[in-house]
Structure 1
Amino acid sequence: MKLSTADKKKYRTIGHQLDPIVTISENGISEGVINELNRALSDHELIKVKLAIADRDARAEVARVVAGEVRAELVQVIGKVILLLRRNSNAKPNLSNLVRHGLS
């Protein structure tokens, strides 16, 4: 799913209000982190993830790998925070950041 510039803008607007749900450290991407990201994406559809990694190139690589591992669209990367999107047609309306902001 390729996002248009207008779509990315809508998601970034919602993402601005969100707090990071998961933090990925220098230790890398474990199975537990992937499971938590999958759970969060299933529930919320649009999430922020903090990358507690000092090296800029390493952060970019981790962001790309994480998005691929959880089959999510990488909406935005700002500093040490990434915004991921994975639509879920069965998302609970009270948890979905997209439904709560009228983008279902």
Structure 2
Amino acid sequence: MLTTKQKSFLRSKAHHLDPIFQVGKGGVNENMIKQIADVLEARELIKVSVLQNCGEDKREVAEQLAKGARAELIQVIGSIIVLYKESRENKKIELPR
């Protein structure tokens, strides 16, 4: 579990990132979760965009993605979801204590 200080740090790091994935009318599926987990292992911090034609609630989509990829949900702002997962082999982000 991350502290509020760590989440704030990650939000500032994610600010300049562009969304890598888009969730559309198909919603969240196993393939998408697997791809997000793989990208999180490589990058640690990503943004996911929820399109307007997605029938599910943005918060529910965020929870599904975080739970499925075993990642931390950092932020849901507008239609953008920020996810973080510490990488085992490609550790790039040093979190504040």
Higher RCO (C-alpha 8 Å, min separation 6): 2
**Structure 1 gap segments, 5+ residues each:** none
Runs of 4+ in 1 over 6 A off after TM superposition: none
What's the C-alpha RMSD, in Å, of the aligned pairs? 2.0
The farther-off stretch of 52-61 and 5-14 is 52-61
Q: Deviations over 1:16-71 (max 9, x none)?
A: 01111111112111232112101110100111111114679711111111110000
TM-score, length-normalised on structure 1? 0.81
Alpha-carbon contact 2:71-2:85 (below 8 Å) kept: yes
TM-score, length-normalised on structure 2? 0.86
Secondary structure of the corresponding residue to residue 20 of structure 1: coil
After TM superposition, list the pairs within 5 Å mapping 1:86-101 onto structure 2: 86-91=85-90, 96=92, 98=93
Alpha-carbon contact 1:45-1:85 (below 8 Å) kept: yes
Q: Which residue is equivalent to 1:24?
A: 23
